[in-house]
Amino acid sequence: MNINFTIEKNDNTSKGRIGRFSTTHGTINTPIFMPVGTRATVKTLDPGEVADLGFDIVLANTYHLFLRPGHDVVKDLNGLHRFMAWPRSILTDSGGYQVFSMRELTKISEKGVEFASHIDGTRHLLTPELSIGIQEALGADIIMAFDEPVAPESSHDYTKMASERSTRWAERCLTARERKDQALFGITQGGFDKDLRKESAQQITNLGFDGYAIGGLSVGESKEVMGAMIDCTEPHLPIDKPRYLMGVGTPDDLVRCVARGIDMFDCVMPTRNARNGTLFTSQGKIIIKNSKYVRDDSPLDPECSCHTCKNFTKAYLRHLFMSGEILGIKLNTLHNLAFYRHTIEKIRQAIRDDNLGEWAAKLEKE
């Protein structure tokens, strides 16, 4: 599937841009944040609630769905959209991140990655060909090439070897691809080395994918290092293709990175923080378990119009959280995702007004 990515507006003060492209299941307006639905669900929310928040696309996890319930099961049940009752677009990752996050359970070779299931210990070999096969069976609109992110402490030699192996795996993914109704994105790597980042970007873009991702960041590095890696990669990514920064980030990260030319993001931060009682608001983070909210009858965020903020007080949200009530986690999740959605809308408006660069520069100084 050749994505027809159209840039509708460039910001005159940064590299930020507003764009759009279509998939089988609808139009995606960029910049975009994708809620993470690891196991075919955005935790605690009904798909209709996610849609009502205004999201065009969600992300699901290839590795986890491969292990349970199995991609063959999902395929037999008419694909991931029908299985999870989500009518809009879906992106599936390749399983590459699990190579990094579960590296104590993996053994990497040129053929692929052998890993022990975190569920029952059974061993599996995930290859580029199998990763593509799983994603084609799941039926996502956007699928990702299989890659090898590296740990921050990796040596230069290993980082170079892994980056070059990711390029070879990317070629195998293109060869293995059979479905033409799915967009396939390539992933650039290179660790924290500017030269390796440049080399990887040039190698991956030469292969001709439908879009391009920057992988291997947001793994513990500083904001300055992350920004530097984006800055040395972005000039080598095609202007006419979507650019996806994987696993990022905070609301402020979205502002900074859109200003650096990024179009797409995903991160567990809004949903995971919601489950831990950390809430993003226009007045800064709120830790809802703090005792100062015991009798606070004000809304969580006076500038937010989400269901949580319109109907419930900080005191009630604290009560739910301290009582271990599921409703508390649900309401927290609704708000955090609404906040991210609102942040994206503010970024789009800043691009329309040609002042995203000023906003991003202010954040860089803080």
pLDDT, tens digit (0-9, with 9 covering 90-100), for 201-219: 999 999 999 999 999 999 9
Q: Are 31 and 259 in contact (CB under 8 A)?
A: no
Q: Which helix (H) or strand (E) holds 53?
A: none
Q: What is the per-residue DSSP string for 125-141?
A: EE-HHHHHHHHHHHT-S
pLDDT at 182: 97
Domain residue ranges of the chain, discontinuous segments joined by +: 6-267, 269-361
What residues contact 174, with CB distance under 8 A and at least 6 apart?
145, 184, 207, 208, 209
Q: What is the per-residue DSSP string for 265-318?
A: EE-SHHHHHHHTTEE--TT--EETTSGGGTT--SBS-TT--SHHHHH-BHHHHH
Quickly count: other Cβ atoms within 10 Å of residue 85's Cβ: 11
Report the C-alpha gap between 68 and 83 in whole angstroms: 13
Q: Are 255 and 360 in contact (CB under 8 A)?
A: yes
**Rounded (to 5) percent helix, strand, coil in the chain:** 45, 20, 40
pLDDT above 80 (res 72): yes
pLDDT at 111: 97
Indicate whether this model's pTM tops 0.75.
yes
pLDDT at 333: 98
pLDDT above 80 (res 2): no
Q: Are 95 and 143 in contact (CB under 8 A)?
A: no
Report pLDDT digits (tens) over 82-140: 999 999 999 999 988 887 777 788 899 999 999 889 889 999 999 999 999 999 999 99
Report the C-alpha gap between 345 and 349 in whole angstroms: 6
- Strand 142-144 and strand 89-92: pairing? parallel
CATH code for the part of the protein at 6-267: 3.20.20.105
Tell me: cis bond preceding 47? Omega within 30 of 0 counts: no
Q: How many whole angstroms from its chain centre is CA 346?
A: 19
Report the C-alpha gap between 314 and 317 in whole angstroms: 5
Report the C-alpha gap between 238 and 14 in whole angstroms: 17
pLDDT above 80 (res 332): yes
pLDDT at 102: 75
Report the C-alpha gap between 148 and 159 in whole angstroms: 9
- The mean per-residue pLDDT over the stretch 351-359 comes to 98
pLDDT at 3: 80
* Number of residues in the chain: 366
pLDDT at 365: 85
Q: Please tell me which residue, 364 or 335, carries the higher pLDDT value.
A: 335
Structure-block tokens of residue 306: 């989400």
pLDDT at 96: 82
User: Angle, to 10 degrees, between the axis of helix 128-138 and the axis of helix 156-176?
Assistant: 50
Three-state SS at 181: coil
- Strand 211-214 and strand 17-23: pairing? unpaired
Catalytic residue numbers read: 93, 266
pLDDT at 67: 96
